[in-house]
């Protein structure tokens, strides 16, 4: 690759300005002017028909079986909005997204891309640099293919560990998810590709996602799901926000004035545009309520922003000025991301991008248990049993629109059934290379015995005669359905029980889309969570197993001890016959994840923020400062024998007389043995506040507040207090 991105329209635009003006650069191409000035000028140069074309997208894949054909001019990806060549406005070529550049239905025949690990792995890194590097990779890999809109990051809060798309997202905490999503968006847009924060808002479950009404009162939303988006937008300035399928407190998200018009655009001053999720528009009046662009209009039951919009305008339901505003917002984001400038397409360096993916997985693997230091495994084992999890093929990937056709080709594909279009989506694929190959490469002198794990007795008999065993277990998750419970599927618990019984030096590698129950935990020699590892997965897993890498991932989601401890032991709408609208209530309100366990005094299996290392860390010298907000400083010392990275976490644990638990900040740093990090953190005051409806603002209740610092939400070593003044925060 590496050919020129041609924008013939730029030349035409200068010509069209007429003889007297041809030498003057049009205002919208003048990079010395502000983005807003340029957007206003460009919008003014558009005809009413041209503005309308910007408001409607098309599905840009080819599925002849169901009469879907890629539009002319589309590169081939999830979506396409034609450009306006006479003014140098390029088409929007929209691609999925969160875990690599997707190639849906092989629309770009044979095109493979580097697969990033699950979003949960990136979140587990607790590392902004990892998130930013992922964004750069995504932006660069998109731009190299002529794609200029990336339909990510995804940052719905993991309200329920059974959520089918949790693996794509960034965990259960608004600060963590919002911060990392902002970093990803920055990375994407630094490559001149528009980032799209999705799915706005509260698409926190897949069950009934088109018909569920997520009933979450506004104050709770503002302190949780919406706060994550607010933080991401402040930090990363994504050019667009994708509204979600679900209803939210009544209207569908894509037609919700409270959500789009008032919260996003008015209160937060979001200057970009709102695009719909694919098939999420239900009325032309959605334009009046804040939606700017109907994506893949052919997937809606009518193309609402085409003919029905004329009728809605005529009936006075949509002010015509909204068309100008929507067009201007779209143009503004294009200008801000640099889509109007001519530039060379980047060249993808697959090797370098695999290294980026591997780093993300390396920092995202969470060591959950290692009581007698079975890990790291020695390299001079006589023999080693490796069982299960498709570890002879690759690492599992999640399903749905985020699925990437990985470099090296799909290592294994398992069809999961279903009918129609959905069946094309429902498959489990594996990304190469195979973990067993990565293990072999590290242990050239060890006899590696691989078994598929179908017969626990076989795996156990073989494991009994070797000094150690590794069992890979997996749980598939994908878009459009949630997971029924937290038990590993297909009898894998029995496999682990047999092998750990036969050999206590058994390491369990979890490759799951979220938390699972570990009934055999006490028998296992060691357990690590590797999520869906992506193109660098096998190597990163082997690196942790044999100690080239000291694990530093921390859980971005609580691992519950039982489904009965969840706010909703039965997931609303799961397995309900399709078609009947329903409401889902969330007793936890803004207390998502670990905050729920703290509020209800339940002890989870593993708390949020948990993660072991091959070294130890000691905390000391906590100072807490008050005033407008809380600030903390403390020291962390590597008190063990190996170099390793620490993720020190600070939580608000009491406010006035009320105990609570809210992550205020964290600091990740690599430390040599004996080395000390001096950490200072300042709390975002929204994290100290409650959201009030009158007036619509965050309110910090003044008083004494307690901050606790430590290794995870369940293991806080030091506490200190300071007084914070009462105040309303500017909206
Ligand atoms: C998903 C979005 C995705 C879109 C385009 C939808 O089904 O919810 O996340 O970006 O499809 O593929």
Q: Which pLDDT score is estimated for 23?
A: 55
Q: Name the residue with the closest Cα to ligand 1, atom 11.
A: 278
Q: Which pLDDT score is estimated for 20?
A: 41
Q: Please give the model's pTM, rounded to 2 decimal places.
A: 0.96
Q: Which pLDDT score is estimated for 14?
A: 36
Distance 613 CA to ligand 1 centre (A): 37
Q: Which stretches of 277-391 are assigned E, i.e. beta strand?
A: 366-369, 383-387
Q: Name the residue with the closest Cα to ligand 1, atom 3.
A: 401
Distance 254 CA to ligand 1 centre (A): 14
Q: Which pLDDT score is estimated for 6?
A: 31
Q: Name the residue with the closest Cα to ligand 1, atom 5.
A: 78
Distance 51 CA to ligand 1 centre (A): 24
Contact residues for 72 (Cβ-Cβ < 8 A; gap 6+)? none
Low-confidence ranges of the chain (pLDDT < 50): 1-22
Distance 252 CA to ligand 1 centre (A): 16
Distance 275 CA to ligand 1 centre (A): 11
pLDDT tens for each residue of 405-434: 999 999 999 999 887 777 777 899 999 999
For a pocket test of ligand 1, which of 58, 70, 78 has the largest count of ligand atoms closer than 8 A to its C-beta?
A: 78
Q: Name the residue with the closest Cα to ligand 1, atom 4.
A: 278
- Atom nearest to 168 CA in ligand 1: 9
Q: Which pLDDT score is estimated for 22?
A: 46
Q: Which pLDDT score is estimated for 386?
A: 98
Q: Rounded to an integer, what distance in angstroms lies between the CA atom of residue 199 and that of residue 98?
A: 12
Distance 697 CA to ligand 1 centre (A): 32
Distance 278 CA to ligand 1 centre (A): 6
Handedness of CA 36, 38, 39, 41 (dihedral sign): positive
Q: Which of 504, 479, 508, 478 is nearest to 493 (CA)?
A: 508
Q: Which pLDDT score is estimated for 575?
A: 87
For a pocket test of ligand 1, which of 278, 399, 480 has the largest count of ligand atoms closer than 8 A to its C-beta?
A: 278
Contact residues for 306 (Cβ-Cβ < 8 A; gap 6+)? 56, 297
For a pocket test of ligand 1, which of 58, 61, 63, 96 has the largest count of ligand atoms closer than 8 A to its C-beta?
A: 96
Residues with a CB atom less than 6 Å from ligand 1: 78, 96-97, 151, 198, 277-278, 401
Whose tokens are 């890629």? That residue is 70
């Amino acid at each position: 690759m590496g050919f020129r991105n041609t924008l013939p329209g730029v030349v035409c635009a200068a010509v069209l300005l007429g003889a007297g003006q041809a030498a003057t650069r049009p205002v919208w191409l003048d990079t010395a002017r502000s983005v807003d000035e340029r957007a206003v000028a460009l919008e003014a140069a558009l005809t009413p028909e041209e503005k309308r074309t910007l408001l409607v997208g098309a599905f840009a894949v080819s599925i002849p079986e169901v009469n879907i054909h890629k539009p002319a001019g589309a590169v081939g990806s999830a979506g396409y909005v034609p450009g306006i060549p006479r003014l140098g406005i390029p088409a929007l070529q929209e691609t999925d997204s969160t875990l690599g550049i997707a190639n849906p239905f092989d629309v770009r025949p044979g095109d493979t891309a580097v697969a990033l690990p699950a979003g949960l792995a990136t979140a587990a890194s607790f590392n902004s640099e990892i998130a930013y590097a992922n964004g750069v990779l995504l932006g660069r890999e998109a731009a190299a293919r002529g794609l200029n809109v990336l339909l990510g990051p995804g940052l719905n809060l993991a309200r329920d560990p059974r959520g089918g798309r949790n693996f794509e997202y960034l965990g259960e905490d608004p600060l963590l998810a919002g911060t990392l999503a902002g970093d990803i968006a920055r990375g994407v847009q630094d490559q001149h590709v528009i980032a799209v924060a999705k799915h706005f808002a509260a698409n926190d479950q897949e069950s009934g996602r088109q018909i569920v009404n997520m009933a979450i009162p506004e104050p709770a939303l503002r302190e949780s799901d919406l706060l994550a988006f607010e933080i991401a937008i402040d930090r990363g300035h994504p050019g667009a926000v994708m509204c979600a399928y679900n209803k939210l407190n009544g209207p569908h998200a894509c037609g919700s004035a409270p959500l789009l018009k008032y919260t996003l655009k008015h209160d937060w001053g979001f200057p970009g545009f709102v695009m719909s999720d694919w098939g999420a528009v239900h009325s032309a009046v959605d334009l009046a309520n804040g939606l700017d662009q109907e994506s893949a209009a052919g997937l809606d039951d009518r193309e609402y922003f085409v003919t029905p919009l004329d009728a809605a305008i005529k009936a006075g339901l949509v002010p015509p000025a909204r068309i100008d505003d929507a067009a201007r917002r779209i143009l503004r984001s294009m200008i801000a991301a640099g889509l109007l400038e001519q530039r060379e397409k980047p060249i993808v360096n697959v090797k370098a991008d695999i290294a980026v993916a591997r780093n993300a997985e390396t920092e995202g693997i969470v060591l959950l248990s290692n009581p007698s230091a079975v890990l790291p495994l020695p390299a001079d084992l006589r023999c080693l049993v490796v069982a299960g999890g498709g570890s002879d093929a690759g690492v599992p990937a999640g399903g749905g629109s985020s699925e990437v056709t990985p470099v090296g080709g799909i290592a294994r594909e398992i069809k999961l059934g279903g009918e129609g279009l959905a069946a094309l989506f429902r498959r489990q694929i594996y990304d190469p290379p195979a973990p067993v190959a990565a293990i072999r490469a590290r242990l050239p002198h060890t006899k590696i015995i691989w078994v598929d794990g179908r017969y626990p007795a076989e795996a156990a008999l073989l494991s009994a005669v070797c000094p150690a065993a590794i069992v890979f277990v997996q749980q598939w998750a994908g878009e459009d359905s949630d997971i029924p419970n937290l038990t590993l599927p297909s009898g894998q618990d029995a496999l682990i029980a047999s092998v750990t019984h036969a050999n206590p030096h058994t390491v369990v590698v979890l490759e799951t889309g979220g938390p699972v129950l570990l009934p055999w935990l006490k028998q296992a020699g060691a357990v690590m969570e590797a999520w869906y590892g992506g193109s660098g997965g096998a190597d990163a897993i082997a690196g942790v197993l044999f100690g080239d890498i000291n694990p530093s991932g921390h859980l971005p989601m609580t691992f519950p001890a039982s489904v009965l401890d969840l706010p909703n032991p039965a997931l609303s709408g799961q397995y309900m016959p399709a078609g009947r609208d329903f409401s889902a209530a969330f007793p936890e309100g803004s207390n998502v994840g670990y905050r729920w366990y703290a509020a209800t005094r339940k002890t989870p299996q593993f708390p949020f923020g948990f993660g072991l290392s091959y070294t130890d860390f000691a905390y000391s010298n906590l100072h807490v400062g008050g005033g407008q907000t809380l600030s903390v400083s403390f020291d962390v010392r590597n008190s063990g024998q190996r170099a390793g990275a620490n993720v020190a976490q600070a939580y608000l644990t009491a406010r006035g007389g009320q105990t609570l638990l809210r992550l205020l900040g964290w600091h990740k740093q690599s430390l040599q043995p004996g080395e000390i990090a001096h950490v200072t953190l300042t709390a975002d005051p929204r994290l100290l506040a409650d959201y009030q409806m009158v007036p619509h603002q965050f309110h910090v209740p003044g008083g004494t507040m307690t901050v606790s610092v430590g290794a995870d939400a369940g293991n806080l070593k030091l506490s200190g207090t300071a007084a914070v003044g009462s105040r309303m925060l500017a909206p």
